[in-house]
Structure 1
């Protein structure tokens, strides 16, 4: 296990801050899996913590592929700090509770979605 350093953010047990960001800038990732607090109506990915937003944005810059893992309740919400935009994400993984109109809108905008079912845990739909 490699730890980045920085300040421990108790809300999600992550390390954030300038020390963590400096470590990220010296690394390259094949894939990054990120969560988010909100996916705003304009497809902006955001979070309520500025240091977390900055660190996640740095990780998005330092990866070949970024995957966003968010439940359907995060769509249409707003949060304070911008992390990035859905155009920077290779694929969005969410649940089948996402409003069908929202699914259609995201696909029309060119975003790849994987909808995971609750009961069986199988991928219900990919495109």
Structure 2
């Protein structure tokens, strides 16, 4: 198993968020010498986490989905703010279906102040966090567990979500096409997401800006299918005019903000 120092993890996060970082800029950010940064960067490049380019480093080319450990730290600030914003819209006593993915995991973290939730999920990470609360009920799908991600996928999962009617369905997506189509990496992922969408009263799509234009190969639905989109940035111009009556909420970017009571919001809203 690969071991990284805390600084190396922060370097990966920084480069991933920015798309490129100069060695000098990283040296200044972490208050260490350029030689130290170069040693860290060289080690990360050898492990395939970064790629050296003229004057600095950038993320490596993406082929297929990223490993869970890497996705967990990508755009973490944006995901956390999205999660906090979603939590504002979930009242005590709600029933919630949550899908696979790192952003839904952060949503369950942000919901820790809510009472008496009923959680239905095919995400073992979500289930483990939710089960820490004694006043919540947690129901999990059966089936085969996908290594690393700790997801459960397949026809059993779709049948599982079909057995319940919940207040809120919360799910992510691998990518979004220029015309607003939703993409995932497998038919099983699409099937799980669609089963949640079909069996909830309100559907929340949670995604950061990196999903726009991201390449994945299995189509499954459109942005206009969901009740509300939670994102950290406005939708790109070709997309924003084509989401019909779907609500769009841009998560507040203020760092360190406390989560207010359900129903309160500092977000920017708009019909598109």
Query: Which residue of structure 2 aligns with residue 126 of structure 1?
Result: 269
**Equivalent residue for 1:67, pick from 183, 204, 225:** 204
More strand by share: 1
2:194 to 42, 57, 60: 57
CA contact (8 A) 1:93 1:114 kept: yes
Aligned-pair distance for 1:5? Answer: 0.6
CA deviation after TM superposition for structure 1 residue 31, in Å: 1.0
Alignment coverage as a number of residue pairs: 123
Residues 53-75 of structure 1, C-alpha deviations (whole Å, 9 max, x = no match): 11111111111211100001101
Q: Is the 8 A contact 2:209 2:231 kept in 1?
A: yes
Q: TM-score, normalised by structure 2?
A: 0.41
Check if 1:94 corresponds to 2:219.
no
Find the aligned partners of 2:266 and 2:146 in 1 and give their Cα distance: 32
Asked whether the equivalents of residues 114 and 123 of structure 1 are also in contact (C-alpha less than 8 Å), the reply is no
1:81 corresponds in structure 2 to 218
1:18-62 CA distance string (max 9 Å, x none): 111111222112210111110111211111122111111111111
Q: Which moved further from structure 2: 109-118 or 39-48?
A: 109-118
SS at the partner of 2:220? strand
Structure 1: runs of 5+ lacking an equivalent: none
Query: Which residue of structure 1 lines up, in the alignment, with residue 249 of structure 2?
Result: 114
Measured in 2, the distance between the counterparts of 1:123 and 1:77 equals 28
Task: Indicate conservation of the 8 Å contact 1:41/1:77, yes or no.
Answer: no
Deviations 1:71-120 (A, max 9, x none): 01101223111232112111111113x46xx16841x2234211113333
Deviates most, 7-16 or 21-30: 7-16
Using the size of structure 1 for normalisation, the TM-score is 0.82
Which of residues 152, 168, 176 is equivalent to 1:31?
A: 168
Q: Tell which structure's C-alpha radius of gyration is larger.
A: 2
